[in-house]
Amino acid sequence: MSPASGSRRLLLPNASEPALGKVRAHLDRERHKYEMAFADKPGAPADIDAVVALISLLWHGQRDRHEGGPTSAPVTQEAAETAVHTAAILVHWISNGCIRKK
Local confidence pLDDT in tens for the 102 residues of the chain: 344 444 457 788 788 877 888 889 999 999 999 999 999 999 999 999 999 999 999 988 876 766 666 777 778 899 889 999 999 999 999 888 899 999
Does the pTM of the predicted model rise above 0.75? yes
DSSP-derived 3-state class of residue 31:
helix
Q: What's the confidence (pLDDT) of residue 4? A: 42
Q: How far apart are CA 53 and CA 64, in angstroms?
A: 19
d(CA 93, CA 89): 6
Q: Alpha-carbon distance 32 to 19, whole Å?
A: 21
Query: Which of 52, 15, 59 has its CA nearest to residue 33?
Result: 52
- At 100 the three-state DSSP class reads strand
Of 8, 102, 5, nearest to 47 (Cα)? Answer: 102
